[in-house]
Amino acid sequence: MEVSVLNISGKETGAKVQLPEAIFGVQPNDHAIYLDVKQYLANQRQGTHKSKQRNEIAGSTRKLYKQKGTGGARAGNIKSPLFNGGGRVFGPQPRDYSFKLNKKLKQLARRSALSYKAQDNSIVVLEDFSFDTIKTKNYAKLVSDLNVATEKTLLVLPAANNNVYLSSRNLKKSKVITADQLNTYDVLNAGKLILTTGSVKLLEEAFAK
């Protein structure tokens, strides 16, 4: 798939880049996408939720009243889950929600997501660029010139660029990552995928491994 390369003003530079069919032209596998997105979301969970069990509640362990003859339910002490302020039954405990996936399956999921974007003509290729200063209006002008200001955009850079990243951070619909951070969830969540010529080369090398 051949795509014209644009500059940051949204104009064609005359150059063209070939998006490899092995990455951007595969038959998408929806189940692989589902598993990869599920893993990504699971890995974002902190798992720090916690409730106190009966043995963690501060309070007397004295039996409240005699076992029989009161006409009510038997209760051990004030820390019983039956009472206000008592321990919680089967409450949440800190845990790790992450799980592992096969490397080839994850690569298939990313190829599938990128292929979906290619099928929808939702990929824009820019020449490599940088900003001299950190200004939100610079990035806002970039997405405006590319006619994608109203869509969610994902810009993939070949390497970390603090000026570009910080310039985009205040724009809710814009996200900037590096090629080695590319994941299925972010690709599918974006309306337009913006690649630079350098990031295309890095993706080709990464998927060839």
pTM here is: 0.82
Tell me what pLDDT residue 131 has.
93
Angstrom distance (rounded) from CA 66 to CA 76: 9
Strand spans (E) along 83-164: 123-126, 153-157
Over 90: is that where the pLDDT of 125 sits? yes
Nearest residue to 131 (alpha-carbon basis) of 117, 141, 146, 145: 141
Question: 155: which strand partners?
Answer: 176, 194
d(CA 121, CA 24): 11
For residue 160, the number of C-alpha atoms closer than 13 Å in the C-beta half-sphere is 3
32-83: per-residue pLDDT in tens?
999 999 999 999 999 999 999 999 999 898 988 888 888 877 878 899 998 8
Calculate Rg over the CA atoms of the chain: 27
Interval 4-41: pLDDT, tens = 889 988 898 889 989 999 999 999 999 999 999 999 99
